[in-house]
Amino acid sequence: MTQQRTVQLPESLCAEAEQWLQGRFENIEALLGFLLKEMVRVESSELDQKEEEIVQQRLRDLGYL
């Protein structure tokens, strides 16, 4: 089983989120888990793209491209 952490959020924010997620996510924890995974995935993808651009620029500078 994966270890869990406790996150503290304002009650008013949780109440608004619960109204918003009706039928979309099981609970706030599921929503936050999804959002954090997406953010990490997107950030990783953007980093890979930036690294690729750096490598291509280096190859151009060396005359290979």
Q: Is the pTM of this model over 0.75?
A: no
Q: pLDDT by residue (tens digit) across 6-47?
A: 989 999 999 998 888 888 888 888 888 998 898 888 777 777
Compute the Cα dihedral for 43, 46, 52, 58 and give only its sign.
negative
Whether 1 shows a pLDDT value over 70: the answer reads: no
| Contact assessment for residue 17 and residue 32, using Cβ atoms and an 8 Å cutoff | no
Q: What's the pLDDT score for residue 44?
A: 76
Q: Which two tokens stand for residue 53?
A: 């651009």
